[in-house]
Structure 1
Amino acid sequence: MLALGACAGGDDKNSSAQQPKVPGVKLVTPGKLKTCTSLPYPPFQFPQGGKTVGFDVDMIDLVAKKLGVTQEIVDVKFDIIKSGAALNSGRCDVAAAGMTITDERKANLDFSVPYFPETLGLMIKKGAGVKSLDEVKAKNLRLGVQTGTTSLDEAKKKGIPAKEFDDAGKQLLAMQSGQIDVILQDLPVVNDWMKKPDVSSKYELSNQFPSGMQYGFAVKKGGNPELLKVIDETIKTAVSDGTWKKSYVQWIGSEPQTTPKF
């Protein structure tokens, strides 16, 4: 009986240690903050040295630290993230995927305060001289975008039948293999590609378009207000104490021109 009592006491202690430090926060797995994202999406989240790193990873690590748990990355297709399905099914607690806050997505997800201003980049073969989507359309060039993104929305607005790819990695490979002529993608992703000599020797960023929109992290619609509150507080603190800027410089590779607007 004494042995059984000791075991039971040990289990309670271990269970308590796995609970978030912030009361009311619900997690799918005790001791873990499970993050749904779509890999690879550098510089926000991508594999490096056997683990997933990037700007988004840094920000959610701060949230996990505040909760007293560790972050665990769950790789799923972006469409499943933006629809809310990944969170609704309990695959993760938070979505962090360089995801722009839009009215359509807000119908399926509860977004945090903004944490990153969105700018799109147009990537072409060197010397192609194309600087706008209007020119892409006029010259009947093959445009590649990532499925479910604002880049796809912009292509549709211009009436361009863009070829869609599940992730940014496949999008770049399609460009390199000659399946498409032009890429429209978030600027930090294009800039990250341009760090690679085999990319920058053949392709260039021809133009960039600030959209006026911003990225946000997301939780289950109506399902985790206390976690959302912690995420909001963490973002605001990171911006005010300089942590956000430090991560920006590390992963984006330049000084930020603007900071998130709350």
Structure 2
Amino acid sequence: MTARSALPVSATAAVAALLAGCTSTAPNGKQGTGPELVRPGALVTCTHLPYAPFEETRNGRIVGFDVDLVDLVAKDLGVTQRIVNTPFEGVETGQDFAIRTCDVAAAGMTITPARAKVMDFSAPYFDATQALLVKRGATPVKEIGDLKGRKLGYLKATTGAGCAKDHGTGVELVEFEDVGLLLAAVRSGQVDAGINDNGVLLDYAKHNQDTTVTAEFDTGEHYGFAVRKGNDALRRSIDTTLAKARRDGSYDRIHRKWFG
């Protein structure tokens, strides 16, 4: 499981029914042609901050690996990406799509069967797995079972949460609403370890060398960009852009930029 993977709750039927008759606009502002967008001239992206290096705020701007990839999609559509920071629960349950908050979700989110019931995913664009972050010099932790009698932090509504609960027998589990709080808790010693996606934890350890990643678990997770259920034109546009980015080297360039 992964830091951004969890078991989603279906968006309320009442909200979905209320909005079933709403029309969206295509990139050119006309109804009924091309990918459906909630706002003319914009590709509105829902994310949840911070989640470096996938999305974070620097100098007042939201930047990151996901942001750069979705910028490619927006460019191919002839529009501008606009980012909305929203609670992750609203993203992974599909509710943000039901109430037309955004067109696409880009939040370091693992593709799961449960989520695929309430949203449609692009082709996978990033392979992820779970990992453990600890303070450097602490008692070695190679697996969750090593933390019996100690504290393990996890991020709410994520696959890391599921992994912690499934394998944390005898471990004191501590839930956090925000990945920044989770990482700070590891660094301060509030918890003995934190479980989350490897990309996020390795990036944090690189910039905070008093912490280290001591274990990674091969959970076979893949990130995907999500769209409203049935918005096939937009999903196909995203897949087309991702495939082109892999062919022309754009994907590798963006990957090097954020992961080295």
TM-score by length of 2: 0.84
Equivalent residue, structure 1, for 2:92: 82
Alignment partners' CA distance in 2, 1:16 and 1:46: 28
Equivalent residue, structure 1, for 2:174: 163
Q: Secondary structure at the match of 2:254?
A: helix
Contact (CA 8 Å) 2:71, 2:81: kept in 1 or not? yes
Deviation readout 1:102-156 (Å, 9 max, x if unpaired):
11111111011100001222111222211111112x3x22111111111111112
Displacement after TM superposition at 1:211 (Å)? 1.6
Contact (CA 8 Å) 1:144, 1:184: kept in 2 or not? yes
Contact (CA 8 Å) 2:26, 2:33: kept in 1 or not? no
Alignment partners' CA distance in 2, 1:134 and 1:234: 42
Equivalent residue, structure 2, for 1:65: 75
Equivalent residue, structure 2, for 1:212: 220
Q: Secondary structure at the match of 2:109?
A: coil
Contact (CA 8 Å) 2:154, 2:160: kept in 1 or not? yes
Query: Mapping of 1:176-255 within 5 angstroms?
Result: 176-196=187-207, 199-200=208-209, 202-222=210-230, 224-253=231-260
Contact (CA 8 Å) 1:77, 1:166: kept in 2 or not? no
Deviation readout 1:70-128 (Å, 9 max, x if unpaired):
00110011111000011111111100000000111111110111000012221112222
Equivalent residue, structure 2, for 1:33: 43
Matched, 1:173 2:181: no
Alignment partners' CA distance in 2, 1:226 and 1:17: 11
Matched, 1:120 2:127: no
Contact (CA 8 Å) 1:146, 1:167: kept in 2 or not? yes
Displacement after TM superposition at 1:190 (Å)? 1.1
Equivalent residue, structure 2, for 1:145: 154
Which of 76, 99, 114 pairs up with 2:109?
99
Alignment partners' CA distance in 1, 2:182 and 2:105: 21
Equivalent residue, structure 2, for 1:133: 144
Contact (CA 8 Å) 2:27, 2:40: kept in 1 or not? no
Alignment partners' CA distance in 1, 2:80 and 2:259: 24
Which one is further off, 167-176 or 123-132?
Answer: 167-176
Contact (CA 8 Å) 2:133, 2:186: kept in 1 or not? no
Alignment partners' CA distance in 1, 2:107 and 2:63: 12
Q: Secondary structure at the match of 1:24?
A: coil
Alignment partners' CA distance in 1, 2:211 and 2:234: 42
Alignment partners' CA distance in 2, 1:239 and 1:141: 43
Equivalent residue letter for 1:211: T
Alignment partners' CA distance in 1, 2:259 and 2:221: 18
Q: CA RMSD in A?
A: 1.9
TM-score by length of 1: 0.83
Displacement after TM superposition at 1:16 (Å)? 9.5
Contact (CA 8 Å) 1:34, 1:72: kept in 2 or not? yes
Structure 2 vs 1, CA of residues 132 and 16 (structure 1 numbering), >3 Å: closer, same or farther?
closer
Contact (CA 8 Å) 2:26, 2:37: kept in 1 or not? no
Equivalent residue letter for 1:124: V
Alignment partners' CA distance in 2, 1:133 and 1:66: 44
Alignment partners' CA distance in 2, 1:64 and 1:173: 34
